Amino acid sequence: MRDINARAGVIPVLASSDRWEALVLRPGRDPIAALASLLAPLSARGVAATTADHAALVTRLRAEPGHLGMILRARAHQKTERILLFVDQFEEPYTLGASEEDRRAFAACLAAVADDSATPLRVVLSLRSDFLDRVAESDRLVAEVTRGLVFLAPVDRAGLRDVLVQPLELAGYRFESPSIVEDMLAARSRYSNRNREKARELLNDRGAEAPDGPVKTVKSAPDPDGVPLEP
């Protein structure tokens, strides 16, 4: 749920301001190519950028990580705005198999953007906690990440209601009836309960096959909703 906090909270609030521009990036398996795709419309050629331009931008970002910050600073000064670069699911280069070379180049690009608090640029990373140690691949980036680290707790029912309602309100819309929102929340709760039951069954099945007998408790392994699994 960690990207919901940013997409439904920070990003819409900044988008409603005339002082900020929010850029959202999913790195995927090829994070440098994803960066180039994000930057291409911001370059001098804009939407007229060609495939050759994209390939050249990928090559330049790999060779000159500071080029990302240069383009973003130029855009910020041109529009007299501050820019937030939000990297959603920063763990994707690890989970989807990006090469170590590309991961390091990607981290270097981001670190070059975030290396000076006096600039109009800010970087926010959304990252699963079990991949936090992988940020240490980049000494520069890990220093910035640990300095501004924030752990997000699981979203409770009230928070989920805000996630559904507030982005619409910011855009000038609303649900026809509050019962629609309550029905959606109830459906999610039923889905979560079914998943917990399936997890219990799976753990008990595996425990029955283990030489030491069935699993009695797994309180140390909470589910995504923060509810401990118990037999």
- Reported as a single tens digit per residue, the pLDDT across 95-119 is 999 999 999 999 999 998 987 888 8
Tell whether 206 is covered by a domain: yes
| CA-wise closest residue to 38 among 75, 91, 82 | 75
Residues 112 and 68 sit within 8 Å (Cβ to Cβ): yes
Task: Show the domain range for 65.
Answer: 2-147
Q: What is the pLDDT, as a whole number, of residue 43?
A: 66
What average pLDDT does range 168-196 have in this prediction?
Answer: 85
Tell whether 115 is covered by a domain: yes
Please check whether residues 187 and 111 belong to one and the same domain.
Answer: no
Residues 122 and 114 sit within 8 Å (Cβ to Cβ): yes
Torsions phi, psi of 188, nearest 5? Answer: -65, -40
Rounded to whole angstroms, the Cα distance separating 131 from 2 reads 14
The pTM assigned to this predicted structure is: 0.65
Look at residue 148 and give its three-state secondary structure.
coil
Tell whether 154 is covered by a domain: no
pLDDT for 48 beyond 90:
no
Q: What is the pLDDT, as a whole number, of residue 50?
A: 64
Residues 121 and 109 sit within 8 Å (Cβ to Cβ): no
Q: How many domains does the chain have?
A: 2
Tell whether 153 is covered by a domain: no
